[in-house]
Amino acid sequence: MAHRGKVYVIDDDEAIRDSLDFLLGAADFQVLLFESALNFINTLSTLDFGCVVSDVRMPGIDGIELLKRLKAGGSLFPVVIMTGHGDVPLAVEAMKLGAIDFLEKPFEDDRLIGMIEAALRRAEPSVKNEAATLEIQSRIASLSPRERQVMDGLIAGLSNKLIAREYDISPRTIEVYRANVMTKMQAASLSELVRLAMRGGALKD
């Protein structure tokens, strides 16, 4: 049975972790529990995309510091912050740092599930966009040094003859490199090659 997405629960209270594990598991989410934000951060690079549900008040790294570190690392994981009564100022700070939403304890089960669903749905386009950019960057990295020079010449608007003259090789050889570039970059036209180079960060100012 397909699950609805991954959820990473961070809370130093074992009873809350177990409760959320049961609730979210019953709602067909894949749940992974962490007793501290440090444990989560240390494992982050190995985790698939998912929604983070974290308490705001925890010993060591609290929810606010967690958000700061995720933001600094460019993480695309959406974060829902759980707060205790009277923690609204902290919740506001969390939202400013990129939290998708916050929930005051005790909360209704359906409200949390709705928040997670919305967070995953909203973040999905960004995640797909990031994956596409990384794929284009890997194509650029697969180019040989000479192929990269030829691509740079092409997207700078140089003709095969001008590129050949710049690197003191025959125009015929440039044509071969050009064909290799188009194949490796999966570009059907010069305009598409330019778009891919821009997206992959290879277009020089």
pLDDT, tens digit (0-9, with 9 covering 90-100), for 156-184: 888 899 999 999 999 999 999 999 999 99
- Which amino acid makes up residue 109? D
Mean pLDDT on 56-80: 89
CATH number of the domain residue 115 falls in: 3.40.50.2300
Q: Is residue 163 part of a domain?
A: yes
Percentage of the chain modeled with pLDDT above 90: 41
pLDDT value, residue 127: 67
Q: Indicate whether this model's pTM tops 0.85.
A: no
Residue 65 lies in a domain: yes
Q: With 0-12 CB in 10 A as exposed, 13-18 as middle and 19+ as buried, what is 145?
A: exposed
Residues 102 and 184 in one domain: no
pLDDT tier at 129 (50, 70, 90 boundaries)?
Answer: confident
**Residues 79, 105 within the same domain:** yes
Average pLDDT estimate for 66-91: 85
Each residue of 87-105: pLDDT tens digit?
778 888 888 888 888 888 8
Residue 204 banded pLDDT, cuts 50, 70, 90? low
115 and 189 belong to one structural domain: no
Q: Give the domain extent around 71.
A: 6-127
Is residue 134 situated within a structural domain? no
Q: Reduced to 3 states, what is the DSSP secondary structure of residue 30?
A: strand
